[in-house]
Structure 1
């Protein structure tokens, strides 16, 4: 399998010393255009995996490859969204979306001369996630779900090849969370971007992902990999089927075993 993201026997210790590793012997491969989900016990190294894949942390041992290149510094082809939308309160929603373009090349050079083009791109994204006409609003004028929609748009504004999602829906109510599952489902299908989602919600992982990777307790490594064979596009009704529940139960069993072995 040709991997777009590959971690091969990676070990990472925060601070670079001889302390206990956050991950140890961690290996996985994610194909280009694939939607992968990472689940596991709390503190198992899921977020560390994301930092390693994006170059925000360097491994003590092992190799990290993205898009055919060894990762040695923060990579520019990545968009990221987190549980906290982290929107700057003094900037409008539109200006928050444009923020990555002020940092990431080549957009940084082009932004001033092509401002109208980028504004149109941002407004198009807002419309796709149900925020049409909300660009002039400030974050404090938006609900939590609306802020998270804006955060997803910001992560995609520079058209990244890799989208990293770290518990982006964890702080939302169940109804809003399921609405946003459908938003990210549609955005990923339209753009064919490679996605790695870190989540504690097994239903979320099974609904969204092509494959789910389950990590052990700390130090983290992959202990199970589950292909999700449901056809796309998936409707929320599938989450109420016995087949869906069976996969969720299987993954929960892996996590239960990982916690027991800790």
Structure 2
């Protein structure tokens, strides 16, 4: 079975031929249904990797293939969620969640005639993330954690094959962050969507992912790939086990080495 995401020997430079080389020789594979995490030193190119996979940037060298197609423009089968939910304050939570359907071509033409069906999908997602009954609320009526739950619904409403998460829980307090780890764990199990998570939080990566890619300092490349050995489903008690903390410490050491090698 072909990989859902294949990145081969990619170079990406910002600012022309004499600009900053963000990633060099970047190569990685993500299989359909995987939950992959990407970690590394600050400035190593993790966000550049996200933009390459989604087609927001096109590399100067190498190839990016998503779902069997060379990436030469923004990819429509991808949903994205960022650290800042950026919900439109004049739209209700439900209207914010439906927003991608107004943009993604295959849904845009069906939205008006099938509005009831899409609203039902959105309400099912809200229930799945623990926000049943909050669709009529405006973003300013929701806590930060609730906004991020709604943000995940918005990223999933157009039924993407691939969900890209860029530090989605970084601005939240520790308890809310752990609650949302469980939400995204359950979404992955229920929907079977392939997920790529970029994070600085090594506990988050170890708790959620099937595989963890460690990047070098800039220019970024993959220096290590870990298969996470913990069986699913996982609960938060896992984080108190020796094997879990051994993995976190190993990742920490690898990133410290990568930072010193810069």
For the superposition of Structure 1 and Structure 2, which TM-score range results when normalised by the shorter chain?
over 0.9
Match in the other structure for 1:127? 127
Paired with 1:69 and 1:2, the residues of 2 have a C-alpha distance of 11
Question: Cα 1:162–1:16, aligned 2, differ >3 Å: closer, same or farther?
Answer: farther
Is the 8 Å Cα contact of residues 16 and 60 (structure 1) preserved in structure 2?
no
Match in the other structure for 2:160? 160
Q: Does 1:261 align with 2:249?
A: no
Q: Does 1:222 align with 2:222?
A: yes
Match in the other structure for 2:188? 188
Paired with 2:18 and 2:118, the residues of 1 have a C-alpha distance of 47
Match in the other structure for 1:147? 147
Paired with 1:15 and 1:161, the residues of 2 have a C-alpha distance of 32
Q: CA deviation at 1:2?
A: 3.1
Q: CA deviation at 1:186?
A: 0.5
Match in the other structure for 2:93? 93
Match in the other structure for 1:107? 107
Q: Does 1:63 align with 2:54?
A: no
Match in the other structure for 2:35? 35
Match in the other structure for 1:23? 23
Q: CA deviation at 1:105?
A: 1.8
Paired with 1:3 and 1:118, the residues of 2 have a C-alpha distance of 30
Partner-residue secondary structure (3-state), 1:21: strand
TM score, norm. by length of structure 1? 0.99
Paired with 1:15 and 1:189, the residues of 2 have a C-alpha distance of 41
Instruction: Please list the CA deviations of residues 192-239 of structure 1 after superposition, one character each: whole Å capped at 9, or x if unmatched.
Output: 111000000000000000000000011000011110011111011001
Match in the other structure for 1:212? 212
Match in the other structure for 1:237? 237
- 1:196-207 superposed matches below 5 A: 196-207=196-207
Is the 8 Å Cα contact of residues 52 and 58 (structure 1) preserved in structure 2?
yes
Alignment: residue pair count: 262
Moved more, 13-22 or 123-132: 13-22
Paired with 1:43 and 1:25, the residues of 2 have a C-alpha distance of 16
Match in the other structure for 1:118? 118
Match in the other structure for 1:251? 251
Paired with 1:67 and 1:174, the residues of 2 have a C-alpha distance of 35
Partner-residue secondary structure (3-state), 1:80: strand
Paired with 2:87 and 2:13, the residues of 1 have a C-alpha distance of 30
> 4+ residue runs of structure 1 moved beyond 4 angstroms?
none
Is the 8 Å Cα contact of residues 81 and 166 (structure 2) preserved in structure 1?
yes
Q: CA deviation at 1:16?
A: 3.8
Paired with 1:12 and 1:227, the residues of 2 have a C-alpha distance of 27
Is the 8 Å Cα contact of residues 2 and 68 (structure 2) preserved in structure 1?
no
Is the 8 Å Cα contact of residues 4 and 32 (structure 1) preserved in structure 2?
yes
Instruction: Please list the CA deviations of residues 98-139 of structure 1 after superposition, one character each: whole Å capped at 9, or x if unmatched.
Output: 000000021100000000100011011001111010001000
Is the 8 Å Cα contact of residues 90 and 138 (structure 2) preserved in structure 1?
yes
Q: CA deviation at 1:175?
A: 0.4
